[in-house]
Amino acid sequence: MLRSLLNQNPLTVAGIMSGTSLDGIDVAIVRIDGCGVDAKVRLLHFESFSYEEEVREKLKQLCSIDHSNVALLCGMNFAIAERFADAVLQTAAAAGMGMADIDLISTHGQTVWHIPVADETDPYLPKSTLQIGDLSVIAKRTGIPVVGDFRTADMAVGGQGAPLAPYGDFIMFRDAAKGRILQNIGGIGNCTAIPAQGTEEISNPAKESASVTATTHVDASNLIAFDTGPGNMIMDQVVYELSEGKLTYDADGAWAARGQVHIELLEEMLAHPYFAQLPPKTTGRELFGKAYTAAWLKTALDRGLAHEDIVATATAFTAYSIARAYQDFVFPHCAIAEVIVSGGGARNHTLLSMLQELLPQQAILTSDELGISGDAKEAILFALLGNDWIHGVPNNLPSATGAERPTIMGKLALP
């Protein structure tokens, strides 16, 4: 089975993504011709599956030091894997495909904790990361080889294990004529700044051979990529709390649109030390999760803010943190014409309007406007990462993660 995969091109890959927003599971079935920078991707079918509220709350517990426990962590590793497997089976069925039509499954897993920088005071807290959703469970349930657990390999060579999105951003969105920023707004916001004519910076030995070789690698040292800070994470939690669990997000940004941004509180939020750190840098629920949001929400309520003003201020926090990140770390080094937004935040019209107001010199677009589903984009990325693992191609970007060298990320589980 593995030998046939190694010699097969193109491949049909099911990419699975479940992000820090904890909203559910995305599955993209794609046809990939080639690998590395020359990969050509065609989306065959995409489905999204929402987590049940109980599952979402269990995952939030795992992402909290105060509420997690080893039994829950052990059990959820398998429980989430079962849901990943079922999501692939349902997506294949919806596409009119049998599992025999899928060559490979590639999964991000569900991040529950991420330590991008070692704790110098504790030798047992090195740079590390943990994603659950056991690969063997997915492989046995589906009958398909599974590649996953990508981030750990990048950390093993000195990287932060994130962000990984820039790899796919460069392959799918680079443009010879104009600089672009790819801004994903999931639970966390992450950006990839790609200078104009980035294609001329590529060294691709595969072009020198009639066949795809294991030396194909994306050489994108001119990229600037990092986590900008919270994406939907704080907004969603605030909406959940203020609605007493009736809402899980602010649809279209309608609630925020009715409120006024509290500038003083916003500036206090933007003073968080994360925003002053130089890239490469990553963050997650360990900094901006439930505990952070609970403390901030209490402050806002204690100051007498109306609910709509609280939601507007949380939304502005995401917009301002993104815009200031560009002004501090991107614009001094790279001319940008377009900001292309994907992820759940791309559907928040109030958030996009705030971004456009803060970035008047750049066009704010969604990836859907360029023909690539913003909902499916990250699941497509993980299909690309799995495809490159099969071809033996390094699939990290040291310029984005801070790794010492390119490396092949991923582990394999056979059915």
CA 65 remoteness from chain centre: 22
Q: Are 66 and 289 in contact (CB under 8 A)?
A: no
Q: Is 25 annotated as a binding residue?
A: yes
Q: Is 23 annotated as a binding residue?
A: yes
Q: Is 392 annotated as a binding residue?
A: no
Dist. CA 37–CA 33, nearest whole Å = 11
Q: Are 221 and 333 in contact (CB under 8 A)?
A: no
The DSSP H or E segment spanning 53 is helix 53-62
CB burial of residue 123 (10 Å; 0-12, 13-18, 19+) = exposed
Q: Are 305 and 313 in contact (CB under 8 A)?
A: yes
Q: Is 21 annotated as a binding residue?
A: yes
The reply to whether omega before 10 is within 30° of 0 (cis) is yes
The 8 Å CB, 24+ separation contacts for 266-270 are: 266/313, 266/316, 266/317, 266/320, 269/296, 269/313, 269/317, 270/317, 270/320, 270/321, 270/324
First to last CA, the chain: 10
Q: 16 — phi, psi (to 5°)?
A: -115, 130
Q: Is 20 annotated as a binding residue?
A: yes
Q: Is 19 annotated as a binding residue?
A: yes
Q: Is 227 annotated as a binding residue?
A: no
Annotated binding site for ATP: 19-26
Annotated binding site: 19-26
